[in-house]
Amino acid sequence: MDVIHKRYRFKDHCLAIKRYLLLGQGDFVQYLMDVVGPELSEPANRISSFHLAGLLETAIRASDAQYDDRDILDRIRVKMMDHGEGDRGWDVFSLEYDARVPLDTVFTASVMKMYLKIFNFLWKLKRVDHSLTGVWKTMKPNCIVSSPFYKEGTSIRAQFVSVLRKCQVLFNEMNHFVTNFQYYIMFEVLEVSWARFSEEMDAAKDLDDLLMGHDKYLTSIVEKSLLGERSLGILRNLFALFDIILQFRSHADRWFERIYELQLRGKSKPKTKSKETGSWLEGGRKAMIQLAGELFRKMGEDLDSIAKDYTASLDSFISQLPLQQHVDLKFLLFRLDFTEYYSRVSSNK
């Protein structure tokens, strides 16, 4: 025990895995998301592991991770999982930690596979949170108020305000869910499990105690994070919610890009007179109003559809929480529905 703790710094490596594979180093995770995001949006078969390794090093140098021990940083590697046709970089990207002899006595292949499973889950959660942050940046009030559609006549302005309100309401609901779920995972699951493991690590009298403590640590994270075999049904609902949120981000990017294009056209002056009304540039203000009205109508329909799917998936997820075995999941239910809003809505249906 003295050798494994002092010579091989077992606790330091456990902490490094927690910070990097379990995404506990917040600024590093944020920088990593920012730099690899555009790359991971590409098809998986076009992405270079070598290039991603360079981006990983960039994220390390840009965050407080740069001050960590070099021996630890050199063990963090990019791992590309097996991928099929149609997979994107987001689906196959992961990090791994090189636990060398004799640490592989504890960090066996099966244990590292478990860490990989947890990383993939946390990475998906962080991606969803990062996507919602992108939506918020697009929908900032100062961007909306400065829009020419906000200053237009009653009809088009009412349409514009209506779809933006729908967008904001849906964003707030999604953000409430993701923020509280992420808080539950990062603090009530990871931090509490680490605190208990840290105590057991210090109290361990031999290697068997250490192995048992580490096994309990991993099992606790898996069960509380809905990754256990008994939680497969609710996990599918959770991933369905994540997919709907990512779909909302994708739609929002296209909507606001289109709105921005119309605004640019509105600022341009037509060089020649034309009877065509296909664009603001050619047909003048009336054509721009028509195009904007059609865009806002389509936005409203898409938002209603996304909101309906999201509400159905969220109701299903929340209704399954009380059936879960782990007692800590009841705290998650309280955080998500502390006003009993969702309970009342479900009972009225």
Residues 196, 85 share a domain = no
pLDDT, average across residues 114-123: 95
pLDDT for 141-174, tens place per residue? 555 555 556 555 667 777 877 888 888 899 999 9
- Identify the sign of the CA torsion 318, 322, 326, 331: positive
pLDDT, average across residues 52-72: 92
Distance, CA of 240 to CA of 256 (rounded, Å): 24
pLDDT, average across residues 291-298: 84
Residue 295 or residue 193, greater confidence:
193
For residue 87, give the CATH number of its domain: 1.20.120.1900
pLDDT at 91 over 90: no
Cis preceding-peptide flag for 270 (omega within 30 of 0): no
Give the Cα-Cα-Cα angle 275, 281, 282 (nearest 5 degrees): 10
Residues 181, 47 share a domain = no
- Asked whether residue 114 is domain-assigned, the answer is no
Residues 328, 221 share a domain = yes
Two tokens, residue 212: 């048992």
Cβ–Cβ < 8 Å for 217, 196:
yes
Residues 187, 64 share a domain = no
Domain containing 85 equals 1-107
Task: Determine the distance from the C-alpha atom of residue 142 to the mean position of all C-alpha atoms in its chain, rounded to a whole number.
Answer: 25
Residues 133, 94 share a domain = no
pLDDT at 275 over 60: no
Number of domains in the chain: 2
pLDDT for 216-253, tens place per residue? 999 999 999 999 888 888 999 999 999 999 999 999 88
Residues 152, 44 share a domain = no
- Asked whether residue 323 is domain-assigned, the answer is yes
- Asked whether residue 116 is domain-assigned, the answer is no
Q: What is the distance between the terminal CA atoms of the chain, rounded to a whole angstrom?
A: 60
Q: To which residue do tokens 């296909």 refer?
A: 278
